[in-house]
């Protein structure tokens, strides 16, 4: 009888497969979160063993920076390395078009900046993250907002027709508003039904002055590696 792989084992399988896309001499975007952490560990291990050389990592959060630094991965920022060869990161939801929701870990702005700067974005998930439509997990779709008049921005987000039916909640941590690495707040949007039109929602959310960015990563993922009980599946974005 086959043993049931734990979610951590599945994440690790997907992460290790993603690191196959990393070759010596590359500048690599290092994602944030439990799945991406396995990939960062793997890159550190391959560097140590000499199987990868001359790698520069661009971390997407303070947490990832500290992890990569402790593993001896040479690091840079987008200021120094504006063009990346590949970025590896997890996602909170993946739809059939390989559009994703990210940012439940709070690093969505830096993740989006690094992943937009990458020639290839490799997304790694276990199959629990698959949804028919974004917002479909009924879990948070984060929006990073400035602290100034945050309740005003939260109310305006909740009233957008493009996200009709969502519930908007300020993310809290220990009784205080959660603060991102960029000193901003996060409003989490919760949907009963998947978002009807992700692009329209994206545009409407970004049009609000107090919004910094949101967790809809549309038309960005080039390769999605999905670890499931039957093995690891690699899906590539269909070129339009």
Q: Going residue by residue through the chain (240 aa), what tens digit of pLDDT does each one get? A: 456 789 899 999 999 999 999 999 999 999 999 999 999 999 999 999 999 999 999 999 999 999 999 999 999 999 999 999 999 999 999 999 999 999 999 999 999 999 999 999 999 999 999 999 999 999 999 999 999 999 999 999 999 999 999 999 999 999 999 999 999 999 999 999 999 999 999 999 999 999 999 999 999 999 999 999 889 999 999 876
Which residues are tagged catalytic?
111
Q: What is the largest CA-CA distance in the chain?
A: 57
Percent of the chain that is helix, strand, coil (3-state, to 5): 30, 30, 45
What pTM, to 2 d.p., does this model score? 0.95
> In this structure, what token pair is assigned to residue 169?
């909640």
Element (H, E) at 116: helix 108-116
**Category of 50 on φ-ψ map: left (φ > 0), alpha (ψ -120 to 50) or beta:** left
Q: CA angle 128-117-139, nearest 5°? A: 25
Q: Which of 231, 5, 4, 220 is nearest to 120 (CA)?
A: 220
**Contact criterion met (CB below 8 Å) for 112 and 181:** no
Task: Give domain 140-214's CATH number out of 3.30.70.260, 3.40.30.10, 3.40.50.1860, 1.10.1660.10.
Answer: 3.30.70.260
- What kind of fold does domain 7-131+219-235 have according to CATH? Rossmann fold (3.40.50)
Query: Domain locations in the chain?
Result: 7-131+219-235, 140-214
């Amino acid at each position: 009888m086959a043993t049931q792989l734990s979610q951590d084992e599945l994440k690790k399988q997907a992460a290790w497969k993603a690191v196959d896309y990393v070759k010596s001499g590359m500048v690599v975007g290092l994602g944030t979160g439990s799945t991406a952490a396995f990939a960062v560990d793997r890159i550190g291990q391959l560097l140590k063993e000499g199987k990868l050389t001359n790698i520069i990592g661009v971390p997407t959060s303070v947490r990832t920076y500290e992890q990569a630094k402790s593993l001896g991965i040479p690091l840079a920022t987008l200021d120094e390395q504006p063009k990346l060869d590949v970025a590896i990161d997890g996602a909170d939801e993946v739809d059939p078009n390989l559009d994703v929701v990210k940012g439940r870990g709070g690093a969505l702005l830096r993740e989006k900046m690094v992943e937009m700067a990458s020639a290839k974005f490799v997304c790694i998930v276990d199959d629990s993250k698959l949804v028919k439509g974004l917002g479909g997990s009924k879990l948070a779709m984060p929006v990073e907002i400035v602290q100034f008049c945050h309740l005003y921005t939260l109310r305006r987000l909740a009233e957008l027709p493009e996200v009709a039916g969502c519930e908007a909640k300020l993310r809290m941590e220990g009784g205080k508003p959660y603060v991102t690495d960029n000193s901003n707040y996060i409003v989490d949007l919760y949907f009963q039904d998947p978002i009807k039109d992700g692009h329209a929602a994206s545009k409407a959310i970004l049009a609000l002055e107090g919004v910094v960015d949101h967790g809809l990563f549309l038309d960005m993922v080039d390769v999605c590696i999905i670890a499931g009980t039957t093995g690891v599946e690699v899906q590539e974005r269909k070129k339009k």
